[in-house]
Amino acid sequence: RLAGATLLVFANKQDVPSAMTAAEISQALDLDAMKESRHWSIAACSAWEGAGLLEGIHWLVEDISSRMFVRS
What is the reported pTM? 0.81
Residues sharing a CB contact under 8 Å with residue 4, sequence separation 6 or more, in sequence order: 37, 38
pLDDT at residue number 3: 75
Q: Is 27 annotated as a binding residue?
A: no
Contact call for residues 37 and 28 (beta carbons, < 8 A): no
pLDDT at position 14 over 90: yes
Instruction: For residue 63, say whether it is annotated as part of any ligand binding site.
Output: no
User: Residue 13 annotated as binding?
Assistant: yes
Do the annotations mark residue 30 as ligand-binding? Answer: no
